[in-house]
Amino acid sequence: MRRWIMYRQSAMRRISAVCAGTLLLLGMTATAAHAAEGTPLGLPGYGAMIVDDEHSLVFVSGGPSSNGIVVTDFDGRVRKTIGKQYGATGMALNADRTKLYVALAAGDAISVIDLNTLREIDRHPTGTRTCPTHLARTGDNIWFGHGCDDNWTGGVGRLDTAVSPATVQTSQQGDARFLRAPVLASADDADGPLVASQLAMSRSTSWAYTVDDNALVSKASSDAPGSNLVDTDVDATGELLYTASRSTNDFPAYETTGLTGRGAYRVGNHPAAVSISPDDQYLALGIQNPGNDVLIYEPGGVLPVNRLDITEDVVALRGLAWSEYATKLFVITVVTSSGPPTLRIIDI
């Protein structure tokens, strides 16, 4: 199980914004404040973002129609663009933070980036027309949501990094059926849980699994998250799943063993992204709606402890991530619901 230092003693009395386009910061009673502009990343689109605290780096992929990953430091300065990453979308770090795994949706493979040199050191084919798109890790297993077309051929595959060479298996999801590549969320523990969810359907279904002897064991499935699901996250304990669906005005939570409800956080129209801080102290919720674009709650809280207004751009789908001890919130924004991404870094 992930071990996080639980040292927070105060409830976010201040958030200052660094690298934030026309980003307005509102406390519960504070007046609006302006901050500096964000960092355009030079990518045609946005795929995913992951934070490497060990090296103080942020990785942003360009999505299925891009061939690159942009690497910035924690101040938003671009350190490198890693090319030849065909359709780079989902990403996952290994347990000791020495490698980054990247799902190549247009390359039918998972690449491996050395976090010290920022160079590709390996590539694992996943099979013709598999389109690995979303990644999550449990122990030494890198799980990937795969599926190229809207024809119910989506599934969950496994890259076993504990053996050399690493081995790949597709369609490990049991009886679950996915129209396209499911989005994945997990706790880092070797036993999971792992939650696979169908994106962007009129009724989106989530499947919760544990991992037993490297195999997925189905525990529950539910369409409770609603239609047009866009993002999910699992807390560090592996007990709670947080969801964002376009059809709702809130962000519901569910326990991962049976997918029964555990409250909700009402924020407004068009949920876009959800991210629980690694120490489980704060929950960031992004919406694509003018005013109060990111709201921050304490899990189980009644009212947000802070609000962030982005007055020009909107939060990208799946565009939120925290640093390890919730000292920084990283936000990807786009001018419309898609398009070139900008990185904004909020110091907590």
Residue with tokens 């962007």: 200
pLDDT of residue 348: 80
CA distance 293 to 315: 7
Q: For residue 8, what pLDDT is reported?
A: 36
Question: What whole-number distance in Å separates Cα of residue 151 and Cα of residue 133?
Answer: 16
Structure confidence at residue 290 (pLDDT): 66
pTM: 0.90
How do the domains of the chain map onto residue ranges? Answer: 1-37+270-348
Q: What is the pLDDT along the chain (348 residues), one digit of tens a residue?
A: 333 333 333 333 333 333 334 444 444 333 333 334 699 999 999 999 999 999 999 999 999 999 999 999 999 999 999 999 999 999 999 999 999 999 999 999 999 999 999 999 999 999 999 999 999 999 999 999 999 988 899 999 999 999 999 999 999 999 999 999 999 999 999 999 999 999 877 788 999 999 999 999 999 999 988 789 999 999 999 999 999 998 888 999 999 999 999 999 988 788 999 999 999 999 999 998 766 689 999 999 999 999 888 867 889 999 999 999 999 999 999 987 678 999 999 998
**C-alpha dihedral over 93, 331, 244, 220, to 10 degrees?**
10
Amino acid in the structure at residue 307: R
In angstroms, the Cα distances linking 345 to 80, 231, 250, 332 are: 18, 20, 24, 9
Burial of 213 (0-12, 13-18, 19+ CB in 10 A): exposed
Give the per-residue pLDDT at 15.
37
According to the model, what pLDDT value does residue 200 have? 76
Query: What pLDDT shows up at residue 291?
Result: 64
pLDDT of residue 321: 98
Helix (H, G, I), strand (E, B) or coil at 56: coil
Q: Look at residues 92, 161, 105, 93 and name the one whose alpha carbon lies nearest to residue 132.
A: 105
